[in-house]
Amino acid sequence: MSKIQKNINKLGLLERLEKGPVLCAEGYLFELERRGYLKAGAFVPEVVLDYPDAVRELHREFLRCGSDVMEAFTYYAHREKLRTIGREDELEPMNRQALRIAREVAAEGNALGAGNICNTWVYDPENKEESGKAVRAMYEEQVRWAVEEGADFIIAETISYLGEALIALEVIKAFKLPAVIMFATTRSLTQSKDGYEWIEACKVLEAAGADVVGFNCQAGPDTLMPLLKKLRKAVKCYTAALPVPYHTTKEHFAMWNLQYKNKNAFPTALDPLLCTRDEMASFAKDAKELGINFIGICCGAGPHHVRAMAEALGRTVPASKYSPDMSQHGHYGSKKVVKKHEDTIIVGKKRKVVKDR
């Protein structure tokens, strides 16, 4: 068991939410796959054990760009997924390592360390009792490790069944930590896989004691916004919105069914459908004005998105030192910039050839 000591002077999640929006960067899975550290398909966070410095570096990049939360990369680090790749015996080391890395980097700034659980792929509404036992067992061990490693709160995410979300909430509350519960609109923009309207499902979670309810993953910002407007009017608790930075549509409402050149783009051909940093900044601003409290970005996120979102929320972050300033550009800028290039001096937008220097 880790002996990590919490900083008693650091504001917790609920205290921060009371003061204003909390920004949470997700997207570790996609970004580390793009960097060549885990396999698309299984999407199991093997990198936590195989290349921990890569995980640590991405945490630091998100921290520099303004994320208030270092979320332990334990997404899909549960028994069902690790069994798929034959590494179930490394389940506990993988979880503890991810939690320690997240808290280590969180301590480098003023960030919170969050534990993470997610959809299990074993919940079956037709067999709630038996499948629910399996889900509960997986959640209990992951949350217990998170508590022992000093997590400040738990995020339960990308869940498409209300029944599974309620199990996650019950487990988190049994360990007396704040609970952020987020649904993924994987198969429908209107209802959960077990037949509950999304807003009604969120209201059920609120009544059951969830501290934050909302949505993450699958839907892009434009697709998710109408649902967020309904959510904010329907619940009194804190709300969450962490879309994917992709141009989903009413027809192709989730990233898994996006099309590019008449073919399925998920997961390795999504690049042309990626939102710009400016689009994600606009989303963050709109979400804040709507009254969304836990704002962020999910699969597909890059640090540049996170910085733009933080700045849209009115913050100056360490990485803001290098935010774009096209006034300094030789062709587009308004400031005079002099550069040597062979026999040419560039002054603002004009090029002047000189013979002697």
pLDDT digits (tens, 9 = 90+) for 256-285: 999 999 999 999 999 999 999 999 999 999
| Angle formed at CA 64 by CA 157 and CA 106, multiple of 5 degrees | 55
pLDDT for residue 7 is more than 70: no
Domains and CATH numbers, the chain: 13-324 (3.20.20.330), 326-357 (no CATH)
pLDDT in tens, 127-136: 999 999 999 9
Which strands sit side by side in the sheet containing 340-341, from one edge to the other?
340-341, 344-347, 350-353
Q: Encode pLDDT of 28-52 as tens digits.
A: 999 999 999 999 998 999 999 999 9
Helix or strand or coil: residue 26? coil
Taking alpha carbons only, the member of 25, 74, 30, 84 closest to residue 49 is 74
Dist. CA 256–CA 268, nearest whole Å: 11
pLDDT at 170 over 70: yes
3-state DSSP assignment of residue 290? helix
Share of residues in the chain with pLDDT > 90 (%) = 85
pLDDT interval class at 1 (50, 70, 90): very low
Query: Token pair for residue 88?
Result: 């179930």
Tell me, yes or no, if the pTM score tops 0.95. Answer: no
Per-residue DSSP letters for 221-243? HHHHHHHHHHHHHH-SSEEEEE-
The total of other beta-carbon atoms located within 10 Å of residue 37's CB is 18
Q: What is the pLDDT of residues 90-109, one digit of tens each?
A: 999 999 999 999 999 999 99
pLDDT of residue 352: 46
Q: Is 120 helix (H, G, I), strand (E, B) or coil?
A: coil
Tens of pLDDT, residue by residue over 303-355, are 999 999 999 999 999 999 999 998 888 888 875 544 444 444 444 444 444 44
DSSP per-residue letters across 128-194:
HHHHHHHHHHHHHHHHHHHHHTT-SEEEEEEE--HHHHHHHHHHHHHTT--EEEEE--SS-SSB-TT
As given in the structure block, the two tokens for residue 3 are 């002996």
Torsion angle defined by CA atoms of residues 225, 231, 238 and 221, in that order, rounded to the nearest 10 degrees? -10
